[in-house]
């Protein structure tokens, strides 16, 4: 490291990265970069290094780091280690692999440099991102892999910067010998592609027709183009087609195709490295003569594009035949297409209501549909056509249409009530679950950049209608409660998840449609016996503030660099994410339109002139920084807690420095968020009033996001009493008692107390305060933090509420309960396997007020076990064992959508807009549940058809259904206390619940046998097999040997008979 020190001496620190845990990284000028990881596991992510492109050796250890032209690098930093690189060093070429057994030589066709191969042999994978491939020849990368005794292996490729080729999620299967992978096609036992083949003979000219095709490549940034075509009545060329290599002018590619007797052809174009333009799946229709294809527009009988021609000033013809029909509050328009001398690129629709300013929308085809209009209201519409030159036809004559009655407003709901421990919870990201209404799909500004557009997978895809349509699927799995992501109106570039709230008093319009509102969802779920647990956020708003509380003015300028970012101001217009920029502004270049496409109106936020009362420092002055697009960034252009932009009374004005320090509760945790000053009375009222509206709608509980970032004393004084008081006021004492509040107190460690900090440990939030603090909430927060931290972990309250007294149930003492239950972070972090989770869960339960109310899950939309960034991939048997534990141990079992079929197992959970959602743990699930399903009870399917029938036939689904049936039939498995006293076995325990006339006692063992001593004599009946055992000497032994299998022997008591065998044998419970 001496060389590193000498190289970077005197340079400034930049490109600071902090993962919120124990990893930091930074650059030293453009001379060096270092990452230090004090986590217990390795961390893989993309960093900005600030170094020139190249491959550098890691001077702090082994291996190398490849820096891309933009200065970024994908790096894996080992646990308790560091990676450091500096200029002036070079790496040695990869050594030649000498196979020790079977070997495979893989050639991969790509323009990536570098290119990595990430492979798995017999289930054991290389460390992400894999192994660097060597350059074989132009366009080809090569790697020889030692397979040992294996005869095939799984392979994916990536560029080291987050872009992957995984064969559309299927991985590539490659055998021994030489294999060529080109444009998704695998050729085994192939010749070396770098060996020059004999040139193909030139075809003899024919007497048939010819098509001369020009393709405009500048917009796509392609250096070369191939045409893949099929003459009419003929066959397609071999993928990827033939080079368009005839001499022509810059920005165009040219090829003349001899069609013989054919009169035309279908064509698709590509750059030779896997990127295609196939006219959105329709292919291009091309005839004889000269044809140009430019930005999706085909011009037949076109002039030579390299010969200057006069600008196109001819407008398209006026559309004809405009008609409008209304169905309820939905209007559908149709018209006859316009014509143009070059080509029509789209249409503008003008809608007017009375004297109001018309609203303009866009359409690419000859129809348009919009819903959610005002009921019994007359609208007038007119349409005009556009071409690529920006010419617009005249408008059609207006047509009028009157909407019908809107759907009747949904009746305000009432919580279902009942002990929440009786339920199991299914967790869905609404926008990614099922698309019931495509008219509210929205891709946002990152649709193209993320790769979502190429997959026809907009970020907002699922909706409340889709969730309503699939309630029977959720019930068929056996669940009785649904946890959904936040529903308030969000505002950010990538906000489908719901955690960037902007208007807390309004439901996000991208989730609702008439007749399928949030209230409709609540009511229809209740009608099927399903509870709704709403995810809520008290800690922060979107980076753009919170409407109705404070929205920060930001600097913006509509110059040639930034006009794509900023909407032209329209007095009175407000933010509406349903109205996205169509990327068709004639005042912008094609590149600017592409960057603007999908952005909703933001003219309400920005100003070039410094607004009155501005508190942001250095308004509009240029900074030293540039955007990813290479544009100069200005002060006050982006919200920041340290800029003075946010008033201290509403928002915190610092960044978190110590995630186990007091500042983690009083500073901002991420640049996409603005951190509320939750100790301010105005902020408290804003949030309490907002969430009262949802309580009034009849939701059954709240999952509280980022609860740890608000002081416990604030929860105990303000927010928790407000929740329960409102439920009690509206629905009564019993419903308030059953309203389930569970908080995300994120402690991403494996120990009992979060790195020794009680204030940052999940169980701490289940307790009331035990001391009076200052009346001022801000002072009280500091006092409470200091007092409890000084007392430490050894002086925290303990509880026996989760534990049996011998074999007896005792009334729990909830007198010191705060009102907040918790997500069981310790079991979550330790769910590498069921045994580990069980042992750690038991160890923490005496520090939780009542662990029988813990929400227990393996993974989620944030992390897998051990803070893994991937969805759980321990295997089907391991999943079955985890489920058997969760459904029989204390706590409320919770499952993240799709885990019932190991959906997206091993996939990165979240990558923001840097990769397609389809490649992540937040992928769209609707394809798996298309079709119909009817259910006659929880976990009981009476009929299913389509893909959902296949999903419901999967082994984990069958396992899950039966576990839900068993748990619902045995009160001790739902609400019972537990004990391992007198129990020998790996995962084994006894549970009992006694209340009124109910007395339920059960002995449970998972995966292996167990012996229970000192238990009540009597007859025990297994709920899995129906086996009966009579105990006379206080001892019962259970034989079991099967991972994921389980036994639940229920004591047959007077008035509380054992239920006997429940359900039918399946792949695990048998």
420-544+659-964 under CATH 3.40.50.970, yes or no: no
- The dihedral sign for the CA sequence 49, 53, 57, 63: positive
* Cβ(465)–Cβ(436) below 8 Å: yes
Q: Report how far residue 410's alpha carbon sits from residue 782's, in angstroms, rounded to the nearest whole number.
A: 45
pLDDT for 359 beyond 80: no
pTM: 0.71
Q: What is the pLDDT of residue 861?
A: 97
CATH topology assigned to domain 320-402? Immunoglobulin-like (2.60.40)
Percentage of the chain modeled with pLDDT above 70: 96
**Is 97 a residue whose pLDDT tops 80?**
no
Query: How far apart, in whole angstroms, are the C-alpha atoms of residue 1007 and residue 465?
Result: 40
Query: Has residue 78 got a pLDDT over 90?
Result: no
Q: How long is the chain?
A: 1070
Q: What is the CATH number of domain 972-1051?
A: 2.60.40
- The answer to whether domain 320-402 and domain 420-544+659-964 are alike in fold is no
pLDDT, tens only, 469-498: 999 999 999 999 999 999 999 999 999 999
- Taking 80 as the threshold, does the pLDDT of residue 915 lie above it? yes
More confident residue, 716 or 590: 716
Tell me: the pLDDT tens digits for 410-458? Answer: 889 999 999 999 999 999 999 999 999 988 999 999 999 999 998 999 9
Among the residue ranges 163-172, 531-540, 732-741, the one predicted with the least confidence is 163-172
- Sequence-ordered strand ranges (E) for 814-953: 821-822, 855-856, 892-896, 932-937, 940-945
> What pLDDT score was predicted for residue 203?
37
What ranges do the domains of the chain cover? Answer: 2-86, 102-187, 209-299, 320-402, 420-544+659-964, 972-1051
Quote the pLDDT of residue 47.
78
SS3 state of residue 907: coil
pLDDT in tens, 739-748: 999 999 988 8
Q: Are 262 and 296 in contact (CB under 8 A)?
A: no
Convert the pLDDT of each residue in 960-1006 to its tens digit: 999 999 999 999 999 999 999 999 999 999 999 999 999 999 999 99
Q: Which fold has domain 102-187?
A: Immunoglobulin-like (2.60.40)
Distance, CA of 842 to chain centre? 31
Res. 1018: pLDDT tops 90 = yes
Closest CA to 703 of 434, 958, 932, 429: 429
Residue 248 CA to residue 252 CA, distance in Å, equals 7
Query: Which tops the pLDDT comparison, 181 or 1067?
Result: 1067
**Percentage of residues of the chain with pLDDT beyond 90:** 70
Query: What's the pLDDT at 92?
Result: 38
pLDDT at residue number 1: 61
> With contact defined as beta carbons under 8 Å apart, do 829 and 865 qualify?
yes
Residue 136 has pLDDT above 90, yes or no: no
> pLDDT-based confidence at 394, cuts 50/70/90?
very high
Q: What is the pLDDT of residue 150?
A: 84
Residue-averaged pLDDT of the chain: 91
Residue 220 DSSP code: T
What pLDDT shows up at residue 1014? 98
Q: Decide yes or no: CATH 2.40.110.10 for domain 2-86.
A: no
pLDDT tier, 20 (very low <50, low <70, confident <90, very high otherwise)? low
β-bridge partners, 76 = 44
pLDDT band at 94 (very low <50, low <70, confident <90, very high): very low
Q: What are the C-alpha distances in Å from 39 to residues 36, 125, 866?
A: 9, 21, 10
CB-CB contact of 720 with 822 (8 Å): no
Q: Which CATH superfamily is domain 209-299 in?
A: Immunoglobulins (2.60.40.10)
Q: What is the mean pLDDT of residues 511-528?
A: 95
Region of 260 please: left (phi>0), alpha (psi -120 to 50) or beta.
Answer: left
Residues sharing a CB contact under 8 Å with residue 880, sequence separation 6 or more, in sequence order: 955, 956, 959, 1043, 1044, 1067, 1068
Average pLDDT over residues 225-234: 92
pLDDT for position 204 = 38
Do 641 and 655 contact (CB within 8 A), yes or no? yes
Summarize pLDDT for 299-318 with one digit per residue, the tens.
888 888 888 778 889 999 99
Name the phi and psi angles at 960, rounded to 5. Answer: -65, -45
Query: Would you say residue 93 has pLDDT above 50?
Result: no
Return the number of other C-beta atoms located less than 10 Å from residue 546's C-beta.
25
**CA proximity to 443, closest of 962, 916, 947:** 916
- What pLDDT is stored for residue 306 in this prediction? 86
Q: Measured between alpha carbons, how far is 442 from 444 in angstroms, rounded to an integer?
A: 6
Q: What is the DSSP letter of 302?
A: P
């Amino acid at each position: 490291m001496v060389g590193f020190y000498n190289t970077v001496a005197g340079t400034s620190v930049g490109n600071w990265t902090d993962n919120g845990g124990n990893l930091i990284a930074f650059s030293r000028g453009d001379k060096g970069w270092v990452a230090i990881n004090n986590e217990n596991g390795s961390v893989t992510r993309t960093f900005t290094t600030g170094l020139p492109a190249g491959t550098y050796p890691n001077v702090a250890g082994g291996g190398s780091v490849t820096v891309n032209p933009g200065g970024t690098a994908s790096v894996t930093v080992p646990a308790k280690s560091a990676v450091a690189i500096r200029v002036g060093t070079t790496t040695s070429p990869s050594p030649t692999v000498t196979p020790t057994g079977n070997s495979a030589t893989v050639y991969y066709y790509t323009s990536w440099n570098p290119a990595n191969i990430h492979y798995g042999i017999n289930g054991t994978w290389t460390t992400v991102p894999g192994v660097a491939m060597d350059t074989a020849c132009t366009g080809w990368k090569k790697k020889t892999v030692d397979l040992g005794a294996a005869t095939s292996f799984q392979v994916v490729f990536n560029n080291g910067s987050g872009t992957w080729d995984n064969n559309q999620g299927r991985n590539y299967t490659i055998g021994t010998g030489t294999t060529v992978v080109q444009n998704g096609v695998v050729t085994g036992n192939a010749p070396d592609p770098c060996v020059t083949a004999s040139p193909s003979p030139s075809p003899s000219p024919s007497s048939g027709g010819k098509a001369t095709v020009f393709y405009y490549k500048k917009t796509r940034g392609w250096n070369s183009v191939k045409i893949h075509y099929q003459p009419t009545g003929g066959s397609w060329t071999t993928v990827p087609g033939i080079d368009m290599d005839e001499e022509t002018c810059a920005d165009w590619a040219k090829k003349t195709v001899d069609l013989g007797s054919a009169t035309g052809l279908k064509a698709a174009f590509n750059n030779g490295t896997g990127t295609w333009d196939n006219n959105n799946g329709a292919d291009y229709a091309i005839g004889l003569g000269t044809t140009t294809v430019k930005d999706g527009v085909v011009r037949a009988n076109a002039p030579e594009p390299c010969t200057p021609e006069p600008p196109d000033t001819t407008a398209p013809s006026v559309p004809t035949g405009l008609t409008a029909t209304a169905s309820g509050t939905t209007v559908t328009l149709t018209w006859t297409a316009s014509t143009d001398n070059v080509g029509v690129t789209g249409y503008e629709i003008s809608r007017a209501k009375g004297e109001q300013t018309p609203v303009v929308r866009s359409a690419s085809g000859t129809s348009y549909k919009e819903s959610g209009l005002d009921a019994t209201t007359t609208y007038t519409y007119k349409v005009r056509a556009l071409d690529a030159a920006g010419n617009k036809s005249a408008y059609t004559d207006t047509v009028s249409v009157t909407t019908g009655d809107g759907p009747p407003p949904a009746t305000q709901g009432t919580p279902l009530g009942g002990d929440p421990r009786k339920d199991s919870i299914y967790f869905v990201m609404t926008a990614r679950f099922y698309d019931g209404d495509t008219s509210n799909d929205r891709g946002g500004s990152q649709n193209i950049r993320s790769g979502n557009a190429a997959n026809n997978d907009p970020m907002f895809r699922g909706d409340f209608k889709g969730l309503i349509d699939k309630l029977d699927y959720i019930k068929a799995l056996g669940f009785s409660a649904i946890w959904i992501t936040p529903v308030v109106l969000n505002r950010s570039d990538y906000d489908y998840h719901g955690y960037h709230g902007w208007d807390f008093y309004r439901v996000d319009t991208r989730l609702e449609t008439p007749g399928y509102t949030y209230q409709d969802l609540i009511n229809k779920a209740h009608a099927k016996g399903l509870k709704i647990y709403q995810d809520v956020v008290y800690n922060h708003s979107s980076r753009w503030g919170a409407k109705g509380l404070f929205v920060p003015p930001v600097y913006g300028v509509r110059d040639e660099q930034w006009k794509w970012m900023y909407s032209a101001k329209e007095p009175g217009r407000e933010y509406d994410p349903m109205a996205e920029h169509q990327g068709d502004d004639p005042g912008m270049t094609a590149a600017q339109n592409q960057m603007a496409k999908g952005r909703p109106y933001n003219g309400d936020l920005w100003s070039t002139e410094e607004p009155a009362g501005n508190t942001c420092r250095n308004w509009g002055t240029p900074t030293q920084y540039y955007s990813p697009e290479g544009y100069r960034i200005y002060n006050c252009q982006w919200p920041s807690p340290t800029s003075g932009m946010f008033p201290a009374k509403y928002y915190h004005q610092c960044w978190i420095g110590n995630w186990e320090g007091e500042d983690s509760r009083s500073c901002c945790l991420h640049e996409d968020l603005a951190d509320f000053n939750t100790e301010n009375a105005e902020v408290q009222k804003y949030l309490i009033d907002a969430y009262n509206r949802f309580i009034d709608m009849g939701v059954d509980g709240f999952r509280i996001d980022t609860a740890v970032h608000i002081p416990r004393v604030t929860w105990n004084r303000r927010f928790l009493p407000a929740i329960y008081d409102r439920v009690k006021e509206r629905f009564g004492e019993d419903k308030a008692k059953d309203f389930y509040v569970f908080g995300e107190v994120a402690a991403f460690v494996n120990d009992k107390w979060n790195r020794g900090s009680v204030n940052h440990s999940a169980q701490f939030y289940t307790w009331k305060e035990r001391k009076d603090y200052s009346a001022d909430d801000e002072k009280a927060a500091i006092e409470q933090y200091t007092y409890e931290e000084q007392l430490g972990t050894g002086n925290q309250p303990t509880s026996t509420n989760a534990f049996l007294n011998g074999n007896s149930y005792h009334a729990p003492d909830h007198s010191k309960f705060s009102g907040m239950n918790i997500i069981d972070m310790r079991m979550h972090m330790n769910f590498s396997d069921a045994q580990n989770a069980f042992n750690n869960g038991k160890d923490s339960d005496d520090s939780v007020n009542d662990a029988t109310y813990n929400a227990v899950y393996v993974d989620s939309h944030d992390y897998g076990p051990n803070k893994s960034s991937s969805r759980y991939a321990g295997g089907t048997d391991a999943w079955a064992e985890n489920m058997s534990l969760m459904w029989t141990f204390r706590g409320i079992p919770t499952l993240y959508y799709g885990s019932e079929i190991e959906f997206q197992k091993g996939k990165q959970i979240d990558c923001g807009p840097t990769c397609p959602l389809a490649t992540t743990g937040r992928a769209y699930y609707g394809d798996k549940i298309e079709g119909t399903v009817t259910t006659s009870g929880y976990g009981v399917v009476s009929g299913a058809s389509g893909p959902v029938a296949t999903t419901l036939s999967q082994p984990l689904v069958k396992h899950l259904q039966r576990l839900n049936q068993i748990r619902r039939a045995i009160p001790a498995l739902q609400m019972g206390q537990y004990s391992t006293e007198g129990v020998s076995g790996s995962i084994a325990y006894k549970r009992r619940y006694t209340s009124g006339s109910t007395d339920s006692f059960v002995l449970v063992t998972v995966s292996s046998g167990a012996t229970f001593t000192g238990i009540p004599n009597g007859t025990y009946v297994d709920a899995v097999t129906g086996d009966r055992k009579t105990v006379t000497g206080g001892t019962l032994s259970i034989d079991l040997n099967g991972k994921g299998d389980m036994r639940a022997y229920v004591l047959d008591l007077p008035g509380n008979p054992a239920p006997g065998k429940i359900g039918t044998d399946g792949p695990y419970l048998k």
